[in-house]
Structure 1
Amino acid sequence: MAHTEETDPAGLDALLAEYGRAQDAFADRGGWEREARTGEVLAVFGLGGVAPAHPVGRLSSGQRARLALAELVLAQPSALLLDEPTNHLDDRATDWLTDWLSGYRGPCVIASHDRCLLGGAVTAIVDLDGPRGSAVRHGGGYHDYLAERRAARARWEREYTRWREETDRVRERLHRAGAAGDRGGLMRDRDKMGYDHAGGGAQAAIARRTRAARLHLQRLLEHPVPRPPEPLRFRPPATAAAPDDAAAPAEQPGRTRPPLLSARGIGLADVLRGVDLDLREGDRAVVVGPNGSGKSTLLRVLAGVLPAHRGTVTLRDGAWVGYLPQETVYEDGHRTLLEVYAQRRALDHESAHAELGRFGLFRRGDLAVPVDRLSTGQRRRLGIAELFAARPDLLLLDEPTNHLSLPLVEQLQEAIEEFTGPIVLVTHDRALRERYADNVLELTDGRLRRPG
């Protein structure tokens, strides 16, 4: 007779419950599709060709950053904290991540300067560079944030205009009251008693109005509305000739003016191998290419900072090149921001202070800080200030939006839009590249050509 072991119902229920939880956890992590999902995510982040046994320590920094992001996506955590997640991602991976984040159900905090990501994935923006260093929360997406910023700027301008007009009116009242007090009243012959009575009353009224106006002016001056900084705009070059300048050569029908800058057969070691480029007024060129392809080197050669080994760069007589490198080196960094700016602009300190104040790029206390102690973003703004003050005819911009706040990036893009001279851009800013998608030039194998 076979022996049958009696089953414990309570133990079976606990076992089934544990099995159910394990099955749910397995399904939450992708279940039987996890392996395929892992391959898809690794491929999207450019890691599909890396052997599974490849040591992580031998991956590049960009590969390790993409691997960490892939791990987060596959783990599907309950909440996410992402610090510049699109760094080291190509356009395909950025699009994929934006779509994935827009469908992510948990709370997510992203620190990012990627305007395409912000425009497609976020539901609120916290600006850490608000008034007086405060943090300001803006509801909605990136475009809502920009609309709120524009509305706030318009309110500021109206408040400043009202304050200035009111201050001018009160000063005018004081001026009129003073003039009336000086004139007093002329005493008529044989009417001294009437004069004393009426004249005294008039003087008392003038005194009351004067006191009221002075108090009003004092309150206005104690609570001033600061003048909004001017929007960043490139001013016409100081050397630009007037349209009716008789000295300017007349343009003949069917002919255009010679290029403002012309590069022919530019070669430099194995980096540049016969680059040709003509730049005329209104031209826009966005130079793209893999890291190390020589994009920054090309800009340095065009700017005259680095001599080419072969070829020529010809600049139109009197033209001024505005060059913004990725990083500006300040050899006299022990000196203050104001001192360095004044020296580089050949200005006295008062004029340099006024010029920097017009741009609104720095707080008053920043001007006394040694350049070596400025943040990367502050040094970047110093380079931006020099660029806008120089009134260039041509712009060579190497990653111009790096280390800038989003409002400043938008201002810079608007200034670029309005600039009438030629511009060469090297940038990883996707929004900026997409704006000039028809003007892309690819630098590969040391040569500059249209993609495709």
Structure 2
Amino acid sequence: MLLTVKNITKTYGIITVLNDISFVLNRQERIGLVGPNGVGKSTLLHILTRQENADQGSIVYANGVEYGFLAQSTPQFYGQTIDDLLLESVGNLRQLEVRMHQLEQSMAQTSNQQDLDRLLEEYNTVSTQFVERGGYELDHHIDRVLAGLRINYLPRTQTVSTLSGGEKARVGLAALLLRSPDVLLLDEPTNHLDFASIEWLESYLADYHGALLVVSHDRHFLNKAINYIFEIDEHQHQLKMYTGNYDAYVEAKKAERIQWEETYAQQQEEMQQLRKRIRELRKSASRTSFGPPRDNDKYAYNGHVQSKQNSSASRLRGAEQQLKLLEANAVPKPPKILRVNSQFNPEQTIQSEVVIRLTQVSKSFGERVILQQINAEVSSDARILLTGANGTGKTTLFKMIMGLETLDAGEIQFSPSARIGYLPQDPLLDPEKTVIETYRYDQVGYEDEFTGRLIGYGLFKLEDMQKKVEQLSLGQKRKLEIARLMAQNPNVLLLDEPTNYISLDILEAFEHAIMHFPGPVIAITHDRWFMQRIGGMLWELKEGQIVAQIPAQLVR
């Protein structure tokens, strides 16, 4: 066992986030941690990495076990170059190598058998760790990881803080993988990866020597890289464990729900029948009356009456005890399945056949050409999935369409009736505002009206309304931006990585809303599951050009 977690409980004020969480993590286990946004997945990872303290319970790593953590939010790495990070990340391997040489020298110089046995035991442990972590192939390993994550084009002397958000995330992941810890703790590792990098990571993790505990919304990733699913239940805040990948988990959840509903219905029926029987027995006992004995045998008559009364009382007590036992062990009522009413209701339909037209659009940053003389049209019923390697200009193109970035050359024209709704890649919200203040911003109406509407989406509860944005998880912030997007009643959608940070329950409903959106949708995405569901045309940005326009269903 690499890690043992016992009875972890965590509360914030009166809100219980984690309730009596226990599990063990063994070598070669690949665990996907799932559950609704805000249920405590990231909190659990922070406790496992000792960034937060549990209110009770314990976490114990086996002797010599190292863990590594990749957070959702990438740190800035101020002042560090890529080379600094890489050398720092493999420092433990260098230390192991130095210690191996020290032990070799000590063993050669000692003549005491007891000391030799002790040194040999430590040498075996250290050398095993060195081999398992790829110590003898370190340079090749560095090249392999950088190429796999598609950041080998970056100069290693470049300061990390000057990189784009996606590049920082991939450099951080590369540094973590090069450390080769025994336990990998990853929070949404595929958010900033393109297709090739995700597929490479899936293959890499399949051969990883240690254990993996990962929070992810990427359903393809959970199918390829995971052999167990841990779910934090949103009602009891406890951990449920499922064997297999994401597909197996979904099927197990369906079967579990059917069994729960059937068991609850059967018990409720049994309790209803017992209550009915108890009422009848009580009513019968209150009106029990026998006529005078025909043979005038008073003693026989009284004995018969007493026997009848005792029998009725016994049956009544038995029924009451049986009901009391059932009530004490009542199967909880299955909670209603979350129904997210994330439907878009455009105020105005688009009259034009062409909604957006790009003519000779170009953009450069210094000497780096991002977009070069792009010509494209977006029709009124378009479904366009915009892909491409990180840094090719996808988000830049969206920002130019929204007027947030200037064009170097060319023109972008819009239909007069176009009302564009934009979901940026990362949440851009005022941390000091409350949930309801953020939602109703720039809208006219009463707070109660907005509260009802926001709760009606199924994305938030009444008790969430006065929470500040800074108190929300990244997933909850994403839900708030989705609610804001729906409130704008757009008839054109520009979605930049729309599936990032959203828990699987919300994701299914949001995808359904996008599929039934009446206007054009352009989405930047690397989510293969999302692409299969949405369909439409696939546009790939490569070397400043849209070089491919193929049906998205062909994507594998």
Q: Choose from 226, 241, 253 the match for 1:137.
A: 241
The alpha carbon displacement at 1:267 in A equals 4.6
Give the whole-Å Cα distance in 2 for the aligned partners of 1:41 and 1:418: 40
The alpha carbon displacement at 1:327 in A equals 4.2
Q: Deviations over 1:5-37 (max 9, x none)?
A: xxxx997xx79x959959984876779878766
The one-letter amino acid of 1:363's match is: K
| The structure with more strand, counted as a fraction of residues | 2
Q: How does 1:117-156 map to 2 (within 5 A)?
A: 117-128=221-232, 130-131=234-235, 133-148=237-252
Q: Choose from 151, 175, 186 the match for 1:68.
A: 175
Matching residue of 2:453: 355
Give the whole-Å Cα distance in 1 for the aligned partners of 2:528 and 2:153: 25
Q: Secondary structure at the match of 2:354?
A: coil
Residues 146 and 262 (structure 1 numbering): CA distance in 2 closer, same or farther, change over 3 Å?
A: farther
Q: Choose from 36, 44, 48 the match for 2:148.
A: 44
**Is this contact kept in 1: 2:191–2:500, CA < 8 A?**
no
The one-letter amino acid of 1:264's match is: T
The one-letter amino acid of 2:175's match is: A
**Is this contact kept in 2: 1:324–1:400, CA < 8 A?**
yes
Give the whole-Å Cα distance in 2 for the aligned partners of 1:266 and 1:96: 33
Matching residue of 1:429: 527
**Is this contact kept in 2: 1:285–1:441, CA < 8 A?**
yes
**Is this contact kept in 1: 2:383–2:536, CA < 8 A?**
no
The alpha carbon displacement at 1:358 in A equals 1.4
Give the whole-Å Cα distance in 1 for the aligned partners of 2:151 and 2:362: 34
Q: Choose from 211, 219, 237 the match for 2:346.
A: 237
Give the whole-Å Cα distance in 1 for the aligned partners of 2:524 and 2:172: 23
Give the whole-Å Cα distance in 1 for the aligned partners of 2:437 and 2:153: 53
Matching residue of 1:102: 206
Matching residue of 1:381: 479
Matching residue of 1:311: 411
Larger Rg: 1
**Is this contact kept in 2: 1:229–1:358, CA < 8 A?**
no
Q: Secondary structure at the match of 2:498?
A: coil
Give the whole-Å Cα distance in 2 for the aligned partners of 1:92 and 1:364: 42
Residues 266 and 411 (structure 1 numbering): CA distance in 2 closer, same or farther, change over 3 Å?
A: same
Give the whole-Å Cα distance in 2 for the aligned partners of 1:407 and 1:41: 33
Q: Secondary structure at the match of 1:143?
A: helix
Q: Secondary structure at the match of 2:353?
A: coil
Q: Structure 2: which 5+ runs fail to align? A: 1-110, 266-331, 551-556
The normalised TM-score by structure 2 is 0.52
Give the whole-Å Cα distance in 1 for the aligned partners of 2:549 and 2:416: 28
Give the whole-Å Cα distance in 1 for the aligned partners of 2:199 and 2:426: 29
Residues 100 and 376 (structure 1 numbering): CA distance in 2 closer, same or farther, change over 3 Å?
A: closer
Q: Deviations over 1:155-184 (max 9, x none)?
A: 9999999xxxxxxxxxxxxxxxxxxxxxxx
Q: How does 1:6-405 map to 2 (within 5 A)?
A: 25=128, 40=144, 43-46=147-150, 61-62=168-169, 64-72=171-179, 79-86=183-190, 89-104=193-208, 107-128=211-232, 130-131=234-235, 133-148=237-252, 229-240=338-349, 258-267=353-362, 271-303=370-402, 308=407, 310-317=410-417, 319-327=418-426, 329-330=428-429, 334-405=432-503
The alpha carbon displacement at 1:373 in A equals 4.4
The alpha carbon displacement at 1:362 in A equals 1.4
Residues 258 and 224 (structure 1 numbering): CA distance in 2 closer, same or farther, change over 3 Å?
A: same
The alpha carbon displacement at 1:307 in A equals 6.3
**Is this contact kept in 2: 1:287–1:295, CA < 8 A?**
yes
The alpha carbon displacement at 1:122 in A equals 1.2
**Is this contact kept in 1: 2:170–2:193, CA < 8 A?**
no
**Is this contact kept in 2: 1:261–1:313, CA < 8 A?**
yes
Q: Structure 1: which 5+ runs fail to align? A: 1-8, 162-222, 242-247, 249-256
Q: Secondary structure at the match of 1:368?
A: coil
The alpha carbon displacement at 1:398 in A equals 1.3
The alpha carbon displacement at 1:121 in A equals 1.8
The alpha carbon displacement at 1:432 in A equals 2.9
Residues 34 and 379 (structure 1 numbering): CA distance in 2 closer, same or farther, change over 3 Å?
A: closer
The alpha carbon displacement at 1:422 in A equals 1.5
**Is this contact kept in 1: 2:149–2:174, CA < 8 A?**
yes
The alpha carbon displacement at 1:405 in A equals 1.6
Give the whole-Å Cα distance in 2 for the aligned partners of 1:292 and 1:111: 25
Q: How many residues were matched structurally?
A: 365
Residues 115 and 224 (structure 1 numbering): CA distance in 2 closer, same or farther, change over 3 Å?
A: closer
| The structure with more helix, counted as a fraction of residues | 1
Q: Secondary structure at the match of 1:299?
A: helix
Matching residue of 1:5: none
Give the whole-Å Cα distance in 2 for the aligned partners of 1:235 and 1:259: 21
Give the whole-Å Cα distance in 1 for the aligned partners of 2:381 and 2:397: 20
Give the whole-Å Cα distance in 2 for the aligned partners of 1:30 and 1:296: 37
The alpha carbon displacement at 1:446 in A equals 4.4
Q: Deviations over 1:278-333 (max 9, x none)?
A: 2224322122334444322322333455565641312253x4322212345456x6
Give the whole-Å Cα distance in 1 for the aligned partners of 2:126 and 2:451: 68
The one-letter amino acid of 1:279's match is: V
Residues 380 and 38 (structure 1 numbering): CA distance in 2 closer, same or farther, change over 3 Å?
A: closer
**Is this contact kept in 2: 1:229–1:359, CA < 8 A?**
no
Please give the root-mean-square deviation of Cα atoms over the aligned residues, in Å.
4.8
The one-letter amino acid of 2:386's match is: V
Aligned residues: percent identity?
29
Give the whole-Å Cα distance in 1 for the aligned partners of 2:175 and 2:227: 24
Give the whole-Å Cα distance in 2 for the aligned partners of 1:83 and 1:327: 15
**Is this contact kept in 2: 1:160–1:227, CA < 8 A?**
no
The alpha carbon displacement at 1:120 in A equals 0.9
Residues 34 and 357 (structure 1 numbering): CA distance in 2 closer, same or farther, change over 3 Å?
A: closer
Residues 63 and 238 (structure 1 numbering): CA distance in 2 closer, same or farther, change over 3 Å?
A: closer
The alpha carbon displacement at 1:275 in A equals 3.2
Residues 341 and 46 (structure 1 numbering): CA distance in 2 closer, same or farther, change over 3 Å?
A: closer
Q: Deviations over 1:404-428 (max 9, x none)?
A: 2222223222322233422111124
Q: Secondary structure at the match of 1:234?
A: coil
Q: Secondary structure at the match of 1:278?
A: strand
Residues 297 and 86 (structure 1 numbering): CA distance in 2 closer, same or farther, change over 3 Å?
A: closer
